[in-house]
Chain A
Amino acid sequence: QKEVEQNSGPLSVPEGAIASLNCTYSDRGSQSFFWYRQYSGKSPELIMFIYSNGDKEDGRFTAQLNKASQYVSLLIRDSQPSDSATYLCAVKGTLTFGKGTMLLVSP
């Protein structure tokens, strides 16, 4: 069974801090990974995807991928209260989502 694991949280950080969200996956053949943000009662919206080992930056967001360790993470710099949401990690090939990590950013 292909699995994607995330800590359900909540992860609480103060405004302006760096939030670090982690995800591990079981299928060693997985190629690309997506991070989605889902506000309560809303649909998932894409933040970014990554398919190469290393870091990929987009504004305040940085995705990190380590295929050898089967680990992907999302860093959010200068966290804002509006970042408070559930963050879903997904493996594109198998269309498998993690259960999500709830992030709470306090003013």
Chain B
Amino acid sequence: DTAVSQTPKYLVTQMGNDKSIKCEQNLGHDTMYWYKQDSKKFLKIMFSYNNKELIINETVPNRFSPKSPDKAHLNLHINSLELGDSAVYFCASSQAQGETDTQYFGPGTRLTVL
């Protein structure tokens, strides 16, 4: 069974559209994350949720809105998509927020904005 899953795997859309990416983890973890990896492979934290509560919200345009219906799910909704949003988005989860808690990554969603 996949520990951290994301849908869709690929997403191609036009500028200005609104899209969502879903993430689910079956590890029983309390903390979930969204990362963006750009074309230069730089992996940057966007959001972190602990037990459905927002913990970290890095400098991300407010067009990006995470939603956590329960602690096993963390979805990412993006409004008014721009060319610069094209990247691979990774969801991750960890047991807690401790210094030694390992993050497990999902397979990624490759978003292409045309």
Whether A99 contacts B41 by the Cβ 8 Å rule is yes
Inter-chain contact B102/A86, CB cutoff 8 Å: no
Interface residues in A9-28 (C-beta closer than 8 Å to B)? none
Which of chain B's residues have a CB closer than 8 A to the CB of A53?
none
Residues of chain B within 8 A (CB-CB) of A49 are 100, 102
Give chain B residues whose Cβ lies under 8 Å from the Cβ of A42. 107-108
A-binding segment of B12-20, B42-50, B63-71, B76-84: B42-50
Which B residue sits closest to A49, measured CB to CB? B100
A43 touches B99 (CB 8 A): no
Task: Write the residues of chain A forming the contact surface with B, with a CB cutoff of 8 angstroms.
Answer: 31-32, 34, 38, 42-46, 49, 51, 86, 88, 92-93, 95-97, 99-100
- Tell me if B's interface is mostly helix, strand, loop or mixed: loop
Do A43 and B102 touch across chains, with their CB atoms under 8 A apart?
A: no
Interface of A, secondary structure class, is loop
Other CB < 8 Å A-B pairs besides A34-B102, A44-B90, A97-B45, 20 of them? A31-B99, A38-B41, A42-B107, A42-B108, A43-B105, A43-B106, A44-B105, A45-B105, A46-B102, A49-B100, A49-B102, A86-B41, A92-B100, A93-B99, A95-B33, A95-B48, A95-B56, A96-B45, A97-B43, A99-B40
Cα A45 to Cα B100 in complex, Å, equals 15
Lowest 6 A-B CB distances belong to which pairs?
A43-B105, A32-B99, A95-B45, A97-B43, A31-B99, A44-B105
